[in-house]
Structure 1
């Protein structure tokens, strides 16, 4: 196993070299695989997921890491000769990459663990599935808020300067926009109403956060009392006994997924599908749940008590608890416009 560092700057610098000297990625090797993943927890990912996969298959894995936007940009730049086989990426960015022709459909016969995962995690069009998911809800200080707050509480005067909201570019950003539209407008697609409501609530907002670690720190210090956020980030504070809780929203409950996409033109397609299949296995799902608090999509995987303490029954099957998949196609189509509009009308 070898780790590669992925940055936008490095990508720009290596392109001329790739064009002049030829690409090593063009050499197909069934025993080598390059996986692009998130920038956090890479050491744990190597130890708990990659090394067991290498031992089981004999395939050597190279790892690239970085944030969603950065890695998607690199894929676009390298589309004619990709040097990555599998990309672990959040659902909205996966949809954007799919619309741009960067990802390929998988062969179900090569990924038998597809039969063992929940229906909501499968892609109806045949692309790679989600391997874990988070739930949009409300993170809040249980010692300052008497009961689980709903979306409308974010607009109440008594919380002036005491709330944080996700930036539109975060994983929680678009689902929260839809939840706001569903609460105050004609439905989740009524984003015009959502933007108007958000632009009129700036006095209540202390921070528009771009990283979930930011909002956890704000809550722990008592600077904010509530924030729409993903359940994942409540697990460690709750486990540590801090006065922080998480609850589903009263309206607009959404699942936010992380997917493992097969890169179009991948040089080791068979190895990539083996890796995706391994991510969905009971063994890998349980290790990821214990290590990263990744909720399993494999129906047979055991869910740690730390997760169920925060999420409850939704950790077993979120759809049974009223959670749905947000309209990712609409979000991908309007991404640039919404990002610009959020900056101009809301956070700016």
Structure 2
């Protein structure tokens, strides 16, 4: 959408059988991963191969049962996890202090890994399920690197009983009605730069304008209760009535709804922001082909559908159809995906240090 700006509007995706989800029920023939693996490596006998995966560690019970165990059985593999947040896990790989084969990161942190030369180039011919996912998810950071296995969205959550108004756009966050009831993400969080971009949009700029963005954020600052770094902080403040509105990822609406049944999620009229989590192969991995098989498995209809129905991840596989309660709380369907806004992560990484310094001086001083 913009040249050399923070924003690239998502290009309309010409996909048939739309769905941001992806996974059918396990095949009756009990072939499991093999039925979706395409060019999968045959299972071997003897001692299992160890595949080390760096990930966040959330929904561990689901992943152990529905993602890791079937793959381990099919490929004679023992999956070992290294868990933690994006920054800590990426730093371990930078320092060479782990034996990670595969690493799951948000696109923001994955771009840093690419710029540091930490990832192998993938062989896309070994990942046939790439053909079944949304175009935007196939190569979010370039053809040489891993896909996004999920796309979520950053929008606005609010309690209509406390805001005294219906929220429809990013500009509504600047309403006097929300002063003292609002939380915003920290600039150092994954979604912080998105809100800086949203401020530029609200200021009326068609391309990212740093000065206008900071001026709008400074104006908003007096009504912000707290800048949150962890989503759990948002959920706790919302549940306790300390805040009534703020930007949040849609996947957390289940937690908000349990605490505040009236809670609503809004995709702003200017467009919600795409949240993409990626998977990449770490440079030097001795299990590159096995890692590619695992990526292919995670993109399969079987895994993606189970993940969507369990509300673990919004899927990217387009070969399934969901409806009713299955689509609640997930980012689903081309009509939703086509409207998302995506940051240029190269641009973000180039400007972030200066933005953080300026944020500390002008906004949260």
Q: TM above 0.5, one fold?
A: yes
SS of the residue 1:315 aligns to: coil
Residue-pair matches, total: 316
Counting only pairs closer than 5 Å after superposition, residues 1-348 of structure 1 correspond to structure 2 as: 31-78=49-96, 83-123=99-139, 124-145=142-163, 146-238=165-257, 242-303=261-322, 305-306=324-325, 308-310=327-329, 315-317=332-334, 321-348=338-365
- CA spacing shift, 1:217–1:328, aligned 2, 3 Å: same
TM-score by length of 2: 0.80
1:111 deviates by 0.7
Q: Give distance in 1, aligned partners of 2:337 and 2:221.
A: 35
What does the per-residue CA deviation read over 1:325-346, in whole Å, with 9 as the maximum and x for residues that have no partner?
2111101222222233323322
Bigger relative contact order, structure 1 or 2 (CA pairs below 8 A, ≥6 apart): 2
For the structure 1 residues 342 and 301, does the alpha-carbon distance in structure 2 shift closer, same or farther, using more than 3 Å as the test? Answer: farther
Q: Is 1:220–1:244's contact at 8 Å kept on the other side of the alignment?
A: no
Structure 2 unpaired stretches of 5+: 1-46
Structure number having the greater helix percentage: 1
SS in 1 for 2:226: strand
**What runs of 5+ residues in structure 1 fail to find an aligned partner?**
1-28
TM-score by length of 1: 0.84
Q: Is the 8 A contact 2:50 2:80 kept in 1?
A: yes
SS of the equivalent of 2:242 reads coil
1:320 Cα deviation from its structure 2 partner: 5.2
**Alpha-carbon distance in 2 for matches of 1:306, 1:91:** 28
How many angstroms apart in 2 are the aligned matches of 1:209 and 1:82?
A: 30
Q: Is the 8 A contact 1:118 1:299 kept in 2?
A: yes
Aligned counterparts of 1:188 and 1:91: Cα–Cα separation in 2: 21
Q: Look up the SS of the partner of 1:144 in the other structure.
A: helix
- Alpha-carbon distance in structure 2 between the residues aligned to 1:319 and 1:242: 24
Aligned-pair Cα RMSD in Å: 2.2
